[in-house]
Structure 1
């Protein structure tokens, strides 16, 4: 039934719960699915808003080097993507023993904004069967709500079922 499960992951407690739920789901549906199941752990690095007017302004890095803001942002994205990839690989290693080789886990890091649009876009491109997402993530004020803006956006626009884990 579910061959591909997408799990947006940001290392928050709700995303940890969603990842664990996806693993449990994969373990329980696998005997009936007649084949392998794949879990995709996704992290979306949000874009940094910067006006084109300021992109060539000089900024000083931590090392004292002076470079254009555009170059600084590129370097920052490289660092954020590397950190995200490391975080996803760690989570993958934590989840694999629980799966007992009953499914595979793949990791993807994207850059984009709004985050929910990138999740919905990837879900469609990958033809996932279900998205398993935490109810809120690390995005500030949404912690005060019962449903975060990202999970709400994904649930409203995804073309596949969305399971929101509380």
Structure 2
């Protein structure tokens, strides 16, 4: 049914569980996967504590390293399951737009993601990225709870 599944991840435990389920689904369906991690660009004024003390170059290097570490989880799991996999890092303040645009650009026919990632005040302030993807995507979305 589905041939190419986009797996957006923020590296959270719930996101990791969704990735595991989606990679197994891809294996069973003979599909391939693309892992996606969205990194916010550097801002001088920000609500993100990790940007306040960094220089732009330092932030770029550290966020790239973290993104690669998060995506390596998908790559390793896909390899173990024999599922073709590629990964992509996108810099954007609009996570849901980046997810939808990547799915469209990569010609994915399914987006599989966790129901929750960010928690606490950050989650309340930002709203649910999953909900935004569900609302705006023309591509089917599988939500893992």
Q: What range is the shorter-chain TM-score in?
A: 0.7 to 0.9
What RMSD, in angstroms, separates the aligned Cα atoms of the two structures?
2.3
For the residue of structure 2 that corresponds to 1:110, the secondary structure is strand
Instruction: Name 1:13's counterpart in structure 2.
Output: 13
Q: 2:116 aligns with which of 119, 136, 149?
A: 136
Q: How does the TM-score come out when normalised to structure 2?
A: 0.82
Distance across 2 between alignment mates of 1:161 and 1:114: 19
Distance across 2 between alignment mates of 1:138 and 1:60: 22
Distance across 1 between alignment mates of 2:100 and 2:119: 18
Instruction: Name 1:159's counterpart in structure 2.
Output: 138
Distance across 2 between alignment mates of 1:4 and 1:83: 25
Deviation at 1:143, TM superposition (A): 5.5
Distance across 2 between alignment mates of 1:49 and 1:135: 28
Structure (1 or 2) with the larger CA radius of gyration: 1
Retained in 2: the 8 A contact 1:9–1:41? yes
Give runs of aligned pairs for residues 36-47 of structure 1, distance below 5 A: 37-47=31-41
Q: Is 2:94 the counterpart of 1:114?
A: yes
- Note closer, same or farther for the CA distance 1:48–1:87 as it changes in structure 2 (3 Å cut): same
Deviation at 1:60, TM superposition (A): 7.8
